[in-house]
Structure 1
Amino acid sequence: FFSERSHRLLVSEYVENGSLAKALFGGEPALGWPSRYKIAVGVAKGLAYLHHECLEWILHCDMKPENVLLDADLEPKITGFGLVKLLSREDDACGKAPSPVQLGTRGHVAPEWALSLPITGKADVYSFGVVLLELLRGQRVSEWAAVEGVPGGDQQARVNLQEIVAWFQDQTLECQGDRSAPWLEEFVDARLLGDFNRLQAAVMLEVAGSCVEDDPSRRPNMNAVAQKLLSAQDVVGSVSLRRVCPVPSQGISSLHFV
């Protein structure tokens, strides 16, 4: 930080690879799977630090791919703190939601903002869950076609995240040993040509589903999210998947992705 008379400057390290949005949505070549998972873990750890390690509880309030910068080694750096809220450790929430112009970014905003409910760290958890889904799918949520049968969905071209949660739960069973999971191929970015770690993808999808629950009390905190992602970080291989099995169903095609 530099301050001299009327001049105010914030100085940060140079991040060669720009934003996650550019790397993920900017075209070819597609961001590889190891980098995607590394970024997911890094952002989760960063948000967990803001929520649980700082003297005050720091709520980012605008988590999205544009606010994640990548250095030369694709290590993520959280930025975009223009909407940040500081919350005392003795408090449960940071008050009512502000006016719509301060709600963050459409598609990444937790439902409680629109309902003018008290905002806690669970709002960041929701936004992070959306980022995880975008890392998996390789598309912005705003570009996903609507779920069939959702009122108003076709006009807004939006996806019902709860349909994704329900779909994933339908595919998930407790099982013994390692199984392939062909249903994951339907969800994960097609540009990867199937070259991704199935267990890590299933963990990311499971975590994302829990993060985008409508009820904030049902979402995990960021410490739990980071630990869950870290638990699968060192898994080797792209075929093995433990505890998650394919289940006969109509498949994800009913979600009508574009």
Structure 2
Amino acid sequence: MLIIGGVFFFVLMLLLFLRIFRGKLLCVPTLKIDDYVSVYTYAQMKSATKNFSAKLGEGGFGSVFIGQSSDFTEIAVKKLKIVDQEKKQFRTEVQTLGIIQHTNLVRLLGFCAEGSKRLLVYEYMPKGSLNSHLFKESSNSLCWKDRYKIAIGTARGLAYLHEQCRDCIIHCDIKPENVLLDENFSPKIADFGMAKLLGRDFSRALTTIRGTIGYLAPEWFSGVAITKKADVYSFGLMLFEIISGKRNKSKFNNRRYPYFPLYATMKMNEGEVLCLLDRKLCGNVNIVELIRACKVAGWCIQDSEACRPSMGKVVLMLQGVIDVGIPPVPHSLLNLVDAEEY
């Protein structure tokens, strides 16, 4: 009788649980990983996103939809395309973001791995990605104060990944699309699908090329093992984009120096920086910060990894704690121009 009574009580509590949470947009997760990351069912994801009806964006990886949790908090749900590469990126993202927490890293709330379906659930970032603000022609362009705050915040996030985590984490795909902005335009680094984890006993990782053309450090193409300085190089190129509002990989309207990072480093050496500023800002800039940011970007994109600063040092440079000298013009940029002349 005692056993029967126990079974009856268990069934009763199970039915009560199901009734309480029926109809919720997103049910309480069934499992927690490290008290941070939750595991959800596909049915919960469909309910939370109203059958994936409101798309925030789309890329080669799949699509992102806005949803709502049980406490009516907005969330972003990334629905991955089902191919082997995306499955690998899914595992990397969960393993990476599931063990780290930082104010300048997007928070992974949970995931779904049901059958062949792969979904990731993030905190919702209402201002979208950095690229949506930098490269559009609009009178509501990011002001210099916000741009500089975004640069420092992104640098802090990378410094945390490189220097403060249990394992050194190389993001491998730093670009404006992967920097998200909250309601106050504070940045959070996102999309860790290509990240590489290094034990603290290792400084290099031999891996196939990963990342985005236009942000890749020279060592990616030489076949050598990469270090966290590959992220530093990508950050430097992105910093030039924050300053100029121009894609670094697009041609610049200058016959002598058509590639903007080259034009920027040449102008720094000539003592001119205002010509590098995004025209949409109409000259509204802190000139000291502008000069400092240009110099930092120039040092970050040096050909030699040894000449690039660590991200921790980049933070101190941008904050004005460390003086920044004028960087030399990288030979690889000059070679690009020489190649175009033939």
TM-score (norm 2): 0.58
Unaligned runs of at least 5 residues, structure 2:
1-37, 42-112, 327-336, 338-342
Taking every aligned residue pair, what percent have the same amino acid on both sides?
39
Between the aligned partners of 1:193 and 1:163, the Cα distance in structure 2 is 20
Residue identity opposite 2:310 in structure 1: N
Report 1:80-91 matches (<5 A): 80-91=191-202
Residue 212 of structure 2 corresponds to which residue in structure 1?
105
Q: Would you identify which runs of 4 or more consecutive aligned residues in structure 1 move more than 6 Å? A: 242-245
Residue identity opposite 1:164 in structure 2: A
Q: Quickly say closer, same or farther: Cα 1:72–1:167, change in 2 above 3 A.
A: same
Residue 259 of structure 2 corresponds to which residue in structure 1?
159
Residue 300 of structure 2 corresponds to which residue in structure 1?
211
- Deviation of 1:147 (Å): 6.3
Q: Which of these residues, 279, 288, 291, is aligned with residue 190 of structure 1?
A: 279
Q: Quickly say closer, same or farther: Cα 1:213–1:146, change in 2 above 3 A.
A: farther
Does residue 120 in structure 1 map to residue 227 in structure 2? yes
- Deviation of 1:243 (Å): 9.4
Residue identity opposite 2:213 in structure 1: R
Between the aligned partners of 1:59 and 1:135, the Cα distance in structure 2 is 21
Q: Quickly say closer, same or farther: Cα 1:162–1:55, change in 2 above 3 A.
A: same
Between the aligned partners of 1:204 and 1:135, the Cα distance in structure 2 is 10
Q: Which of these residues, 263, 270, 276, is aligned with residue 170 of structure 1?
A: 270
Report 1:1-258 matches (<5 A): 1-4=38-41, 6=114, 9-28=119-138, 29-95=140-206, 97-98=207-208, 102-145=209-252, 148=255, 159=259, 161-162=261-262, 164-171=264-271, 183-231=272-320
Between the aligned partners of 2:249 and 2:166, the Cα distance in structure 1 is 35
Contact 2:162 2:170 in 1 (8 A): yes
- Deviation of 1:227 (Å): 1.1
Between the aligned partners of 2:40 and 2:256, the Cα distance in structure 1 is 56
Unaligned runs of at least 5 residues, structure 1:
151-157, 172-182, 233-241, 246-254
Residue identity opposite 1:18 in structure 2: G
Residue identity opposite 2:167 in structure 1: E
When the two chains are superposed, the root-mean-square deviation of aligned CA atoms in Å is 2.5
Residue identity opposite 2:304 in structure 1: D
Between the aligned partners of 1:128 and 1:2, the Cα distance in structure 2 is 33
Contact 1:133 1:205 in 2 (8 A): yes
- More strand by percentage: 2
Contact 1:62 1:105 in 2 (8 A): yes
Between the aligned partners of 2:194 and 2:277, the Cα distance in structure 1 is 31
Between the aligned partners of 1:210 and 1:55, the Cα distance in structure 2 is 27
Between the aligned partners of 2:324 and 2:256, the Cα distance in structure 1 is 31
Between the aligned partners of 1:190 and 1:146, the Cα distance in structure 2 is 14
Contact 2:252 2:260 in 1 (8 A): no
User: Residue deviations 1:223-248, cap 9 Å, x none?
Assistant: 0001111227xxxxxxxxx9999xxx
Q: Quickly say closer, same or farther: Cα 1:117–1:223, change in 2 above 3 A.
A: same
Contact 1:51 1:121 in 2 (8 A): yes
Q: Please tell me whether Structure 1 or Structure 2 has the larger radius of gyration of its CA atoms.
A: 2
Between the aligned partners of 1:56 and 1:193, the Cα distance in structure 2 is 43
State the SS of the aligned residue for 1:77: strand
Q: When the two structures are aligned, how many residues end up with a matched partner? A: 215
Flag the structure with more relative contact order, 1 or 2, with Cα contacts below 8 A and sequence separation at least 6: 1
Contact 1:64 1:108 in 2 (8 A): yes
State the SS of the aligned residue for 2:188: strand
User: Residue deviations 1:22-81, cap 9 Å, x none?
Assistant: 011122122111000010010000000000010000000000000000011001010011
Between the aligned partners of 2:324 and 2:221, the Cα distance in structure 1 is 36
Contact 1:48 1:222 in 2 (8 A): yes
User: Residue deviations 1:174-212, cap 9 Å, x none?
Assistant: xxxxxxxxx322110111111011000011000000000
